[in-house]
Structure 1
Amino acid sequence: MYGLHQVRQVIREPSLAVREANRLYHTRLGRRRGPPGGVDIFEEDWDSLVILDACRYDIFAQRSLPGRLESRISKGSHTSEFLAANFAGRDLRDTVYVTASPMYYRKRDALQTRFHDVVNVWRDVGWHEDFRTVLPETMADYTVQAAETYPNKRIVAHFLQPHYPFIGSTGRKHFDLDKLNFAWSDVKRGTFGVSDDVLWEAFRENLDVALPHVRQLLGDLSGRTVVTADHGQMIGERASPLPIREYGHPPGIYTDELVRVPWLVSDNGERKTIVDGGATAADADVSEEVVRDRLESLGYVHTVGQKFVNHSGTHGVPTLFT
């Protein structure tokens, strides 16, 4: 059922009702989890997996990195869906997850994933207070450190770029990185007063800022490394079947822009010998205030009045607010 606050928001922004109709269509009234043909990342052949958050295949394909480029269909159009579809309930004690995103930490109790170790780069010194994100060079450093610390484990490195905040010159010019209440719905309403052309340039720059560090990783990591994304991004394209313009990456909307992701395979020397070494001690708890601050900075959540609204979206629960 939909709550009163959701009904009020639809009254203020009727396009949310159209989005919800599209979501119900794509998820077959909430019965389908993800688009058909989605790739199970842990069933694929790799030693290290680099995830670029919100990276569209078509934009990535215009760049040049060493390796064999293909595309795959992601299991979700939002990080929360991607994690649920790939991580939930799995025994991954042969894998170390190095992440710039707080989303896994927020969902960890529900996901019940057993990793050998989880490195939450966003938690302390890895978080850049001025840019309000984890910079790609920081992620690259932590990834190399994890690979050296755990030479016989698969490494998953979850970068935030090209996801908002926009840290290139165009993004810094047009978006206030101190603004904690950023949401793609504000962009859709024209709150920021920027054109789609500006959004495109800021998005491309965010990818271009990250790729030199990804390229370096391809030389630093031994064995087979795959570069992919958890989902894509919409910047003014029309959704389906009801053709409203969409921005961001709402869960349950499985357009090609949102679920077609890059799959670049790069080989560097001998393959790693992967072993299951059990799980390390549980990571230290992080305060809810810190987690919420990080997610707000990334545009995942914001406050409506005094009520905290989660933008992550879950199947079976109305997601009008995403």
Structure 2
Amino acid sequence: MVTTPFQYFSSAINSRIPKKARLEQLADALLKISSSWVPHGVDIFDREWDVLLILDTCRADAMDQVASEYEFLDSGTTVWSRGSATREWVAHTFTTENIDEIRNTALVTANPTSRWGLRHEAEPNWPEFSKRFTNWDTVEPHHFCEFDEVWRYGPKNPFSGTVMPYAVTDRAISTWRSTRASRMIVHYLPPHIPYGARSVKQNRPLNDIENDPWNALKSGTSKEQVWNAYIEELVFGLESVETIITDIDADKIVITSDHGESFGEFGIYAHPMLPLPQLRKVPWVETTGQGQNEYTTHIEPTTVDGNTEQKVEKQLEMLGYR
């Protein structure tokens, strides 16, 4: 008997996804398929830069709000991202079409989604058809000049469980000084949830807003309270960004984001793969490295054991993807 496409999709969903999550994950899988065939937004490799500093989930209006507090920031300069989520941005950016540039690029990242987006480890248990019908054409980690996953070994915020931004800066400075890479991408987590900036400074566990801002908003917490926590997280990241800009010698450093964040606009929270302005409009700030070369690096990669999938799953859970 010939199996129809509907029967194939239905069987794949029923056998692989728990009932309570089927509708949500099916929608996400279909959006993933659609996005893979219709890329839009700016390809970063079409732009001129030496070092690209990514602040995960940073909205353009959030950067504008804090720009006056930093000499290296300008306000109002934006681009349209190629993704509404890291896994989408990664898949549209680190493609075989860009492989020549990627071979000369170092990636220093605090986000395990960088590997997940390349489809090599711990891909979610979505329906099989979402893998069969996507049109992603990504490179592999070894194609980068350097692929440094700081989230595996870097010091963690003891309350949020996510890698500290200073560790990413430390590894980025070391990488820029010691490798042959002509370009470097540095992917910070702030201002991504969980919002751990206040907790680590005050030496206390996360409160409900910091741990789950979306549930807080849906439960009646004011947007202003959640937004302020988000801005404080952004400032937490910018403190480490300032260190790298002060230290390294680079003609053009760009501060941007892989995608933005939605705080209930159009009834959407966080960053699903939807082409909303709040998710796709990101800052694009150009500055120059001061080259003081005074920072003393002290973090070295530790030996990575074989439990990569377990580590990815744990980090993804902390970031709200599980």
State yes or no: 1:173 paired with 2:207. yes
1:132-281 maps to which residues of 2 (within 5 A)?
Answer: 132-150=161-179, 152-169=181-198, 172-175=206-209, 184=214, 186-187=215-216, 190=219, 194-223=221-250, 224-238=252-266, 245-251=267-273, 253-268=274-289
* Partner Cα separation in structure 2 for residue 34 and residue 229 of structure 1: 22
**Distance apart, 1:174 and its partner CA:** 3.0
* Deviations, residues 162-198 of structure 1 (Å, cap 9, x unaligned): 0011013389333475xxxx695x45653xx643232
3-state SS in 1 of match to 2:146: strand
3-state SS in 1 of match to 2:166: helix
Between the aligned residues of both structures, percent identity stands at 28
* Deviations, residues 233-274 of structure 1 (Å, cap 9, x unaligned): 001111xxxxxx1110001x111100000000002369xxxx
* Partner Cα separation in structure 2 for residue 151 and residue 219 of structure 1: 21
3-state SS in 2 of match to 1:61: helix
Partner of 2:54: 51
Q: Paired residues, what number?
A: 267
Of 73, 78, 85, the residue aligned with 2:80 is 73
Partner of 1:101: 111
Letter in 2 for 1:61: D
3-state SS in 1 of match to 2:62: helix
Determine if contact 1:34/1:76 at 8 Å carries over to the other structure.
Answer: no
Query: Which has the larger share of strand?
Result: 1
* Partner Cα separation in structure 2 for residue 138 and residue 72 of structure 1: 28
Q: Give the direction of change, closer, same or farther, for the CA distance of 1:7–1:205 in structure 2 (3 Å limit).
A: same
* Partner Cα separation in structure 1 for residue 107 and residue 307 of structure 2: 17
State yes or no: 1:60 paired with 2:63. yes
Q: Give the direction of change, closer, same or farther, for the CA distance of 1:160–1:41 in structure 2 (3 Å limit).
A: same
Determine if contact 1:67/1:266 at 8 Å carries over to the other structure.
Answer: yes
Partner of 2:3: none
Partner of 2:42: 39
TM-score by length of 1: 0.72
Of 297, 305, 312, the residue aligned with 2:318 is 297
Give RMSD over aligned pairs. 3.2
**Distance apart, 1:112 and its partner CA:** 2.5
Where structure 2 has 5 or more consecutive residues not aligned to the other structure, the ranges are 1-8, 121-137, 200-204, 292-303
3-state SS in 2 of match to 1:62: helix
**Distance apart, 1:152 and its partner CA:** 4.5
Determine if contact 2:112/2:149 at 8 Å carries over to the other structure.
Answer: yes
Partner of 1:241: none
Query: Which has the larger share of helix?
Result: 2
Determine if contact 1:174/1:194 at 8 Å carries over to the other structure.
Answer: no
3-state SS in 2 of match to 1:172: coil
